[in-house]
Amino acid sequence: MMSIRRFLLVAIAVVMAGTSVAVSVATYVEAYHEVDELFDGHLAQQGRILALLAESSAGQLDPAILHASSPGHYYERYVAIQRWSAEGSLLLASASVPEVPLASFAAGLSRTQIAGEDWHVFTQRLSNGDWLMVAEGARAREELVHGAALAVVTPFAIAVPLALVLMALVIGRGLRPLSALQRAVRARDSSNLQPLVTSASNVAELAPLEQAINGLMAQVMAALAREQRFTADAAHELRTLLTVLKLHAHNAANLKKHDDVQASLAQLQAGVDRATHMVTQLLSLARLDPEDADALKQATPLLPVVRQVLADLMPLAERRHQQLDCEGVEAAPTVLLRREALDILLRNLVENALRYSPADTNVSVTARVQGDQVRITVEDEGEGVSAEQAGRVLERFYRGRHDGQGAGLGLSIVSRILTLAGGELAFIPRDSTQKAHVVVTLPRA
């Protein structure tokens, strides 16, 4: 598993070491070149001065001067002088070189090797035809450059490990908010999903991460709350239904008269139908999550869905001797709501209108455009929803005029769909001027 701390330390170590080596090599090469140039210049200058002295000397220089017995300098052995006559005889030589020419008899700078040692030689011809050679050993220059390079590299060699130790401390301090965030997340479980509050919230790079984690935990909390609410709701309603079904089954088993048994079985069948309807509604409601809001916003033609819903509910209407029509939906446009959700919404509204309207009445669905919205109206001849009930009918399992058939979830599902889709719901009660109706407003696609 990759470690950010280890990666940063290794990366910094490689960069610093590589930079140090590159700087040291470049410094060494440049220093060696500059020392060579400088010393060659000094060598030429010394040669010219010695030539001037030789030219101005009244007599021959005493060779004994170059072989003084008094202590000299350590680097003196890397400096040599030779004077050769025009005929090729050695007239003057330092003790540090053999009695052979240091270089060819040609004026200028040259480099030669004598006894395995490299020498830089400046050769100059005097006016009387003699040759004067001044030389420096290359080892002296190398030692000088090596010393200078060591002086440069040593601080790097000390500074790099020290810098790495300091960087490890700095990186550890910089990653402390991340470690705090990690510990806080690790301490969370399904029973503790409260928002994280750590030092990461003060770090620009980690604050968005903490906010994202908090947002995710909020979604998980909401999902768990929905599941718990669904479980509690289902348990409550199913417990009541199962008790009633058990009672009907017990009665049917103990009754003697055929008519009484048939009546009890009919009640049992009605209870089973109601339980099936309620479970279907509960599952529909459970599937409506906030995360589905964007998925719900799909363009859907209204008329085909209305016709399908009315066709599906026609058996219920016929059983109650009611009429269904959608004449006012012919020119309806496309709404911004997924077909499945629109089907559930209309099915619940029309089914409610059928259930809570008297027999031999009419239920109609109309639609018209208002700007960028579509207004859908479901009208029936029932009493409608009063102002007192309007605040409660959207609650789960609330049945204002309970007829034993509904689950009290239909309008709660409708409200949930409209909340996610950005729609609105209004109840208009019956009065002397109009029938009771429900108005749904949806965005127009």
Per-residue pLDDT of the chain (445 residues; tens, 9 = 90+): 677 888 888 888 888 888 888 888 887 788 777 777 777 777 777 777 777 777 666 455 555 555 555 555 666 677 788 888 888 888 887 777 777 888 888 888 888 887 778 888 889 888 888 888 888 888 877 887 778 778 877 887 888 888 888 888 888 888 888 888 888 888 888 777 788 777 777 777 777 888 888 888 888 888 787 777 767 666 755 675 677 677 778 777 777 777 777 887 887 787 787 677 667 766 765 666 666 677 778 899 998 889 888 888 888 888 889 999 887 776 668 899 888 888 888 988 888 888 888 888 999 999 988 889 999 999 988 776 655 555 555 555 555 554 444 445 667 778 888 888 888 888 887 776 668 888 899 999 8
Can you give the pLDDT at residue 406? 46
Distance (Å, rounded) from C-alpha 274 to C-alpha 265? 14
| pLDDT score of 58 | 47
- Asked if residue 226 and residue 131 are part of one domain, the reply reads no
Tell me which residue has tokens 């990666």.
7
Residue 342: inside a domain, yes or no?
yes
Instruction: Look at residues 62, 80, 159 and name the one whose alpha carbon lies nearest to residue 119.
Output: 80
* Alpha helix stretches (DSSP H) within 288-374: 293-296, 302-319, 339-355
pLDDT of residue 388: 55
Instruction: Report yes or no on 302 lying in a domain.
Output: yes
Helix, coil or strand: residue 429: coil
Return the H-helix or E-strand segment holding 10: helix 4-56
Q: Which residues contact 380 (CB under 8 A, 6 or more apart)?
A: 353, 354, 356, 357, 361, 362, 363, 435, 436, 437
> How far, in Å, CA of 369 to CA of 333, rounded?
7
**Looking at the structure, do residues 276 and 395 belong to the same domain, yes or no?**
no
Confidence at residue 407, expressed as pLDDT on a 0 to 100 scale:
43
- Structure token digits, residue 424: 């609105």
Among 40, 33, 25, smallest CA distance to 149 is for: 25
Angle in degrees, CA 143, 145, 151, rounded to 5:
100
Tokens of 189: 């479980």
CB count within 10 Å of CB 285 equals 22
Q: Which amino acid is at 359?
A: A
Same domain, 158 and 12: yes
Amino acid 441: pLDDT: 92
Cβ-Cβ contacts under 8 Å for 327 (sequence gap 6 or more): 364, 366
Q: What are phi and psi of 99, to 5 degrees?
A: -90, 55
If asked whether residues 309 and 272 sit together in one domain, one would say no
Answer yes or no: do 138 and 41 share one domain. yes
Q: Residue 302, CB half-sphere, CA atoms under 13 Å: how many?
A: 29
Number of domains comprising the chain: 3
Range of the domain at 397: 292-443
